Amino acid sequence: MLAKIHITLKKDVLDPQGSVIANSLKSLGFDNVNDVRQGKFIELEINSNTKEEAEKQCNDMCEKLLANLVIEDYSVEIEN
């Protein structure tokens, strides 16, 4: 199965990189961009019998290593 994991900064955490990206987009003429938040995308192949089991394992991976829960949120999507 293929797991797609998004890791994003929590809403109350400042994202200076996002702000700089937003400014650069505006300078390119994308005036309607209001806010940019930068995150990470991790794709991993995992052997598992069920989607539920794979999701549970990925959640565990995020909590133990892939995300830092002090500053980041994560979401997991499993595809067959």
Partner 1 sequence: MKTHVIVFPGSNCDRDVAVAIQNIIGSSPEMVWHKDSTINQSDLIVVPGGFSYGDYLRCGAMASTSPIMKSVIENANKGVPVMGICNGFQILIESGLLQGALMRNSSLSFICRDIIIKPTNTKTIFTNKSTISKMPIAHNEGNYFANSNQIKEIEDNDQIAFQYCDENGDINSHSNPNGSINNIAGVFNKSKNVLGMMPHPERAAESIHGCDDGRNIFESLLS
Contact residues for partner 1, defined by CB under 8 A = 12-14, 16-17, 20, 65-66, 68, 70-71
CA distance 49 to 72: 29
To partner 1, the closest distance from the beta carbon of 42 in angstroms equals 9
To partner 1, the closest distance from the beta carbon of 57 in angstroms equals 16
To partner 1, the closest distance from the beta carbon of 18 in angstroms equals 11
Which residue, 19 or 51, has its beta carbon nearer to partner 1?
A: 19
CA distance 54 to 52: 5
Q: Which two tokens stand for residue 9?
A: 């900064």
Place of tokens 């069920």: 50
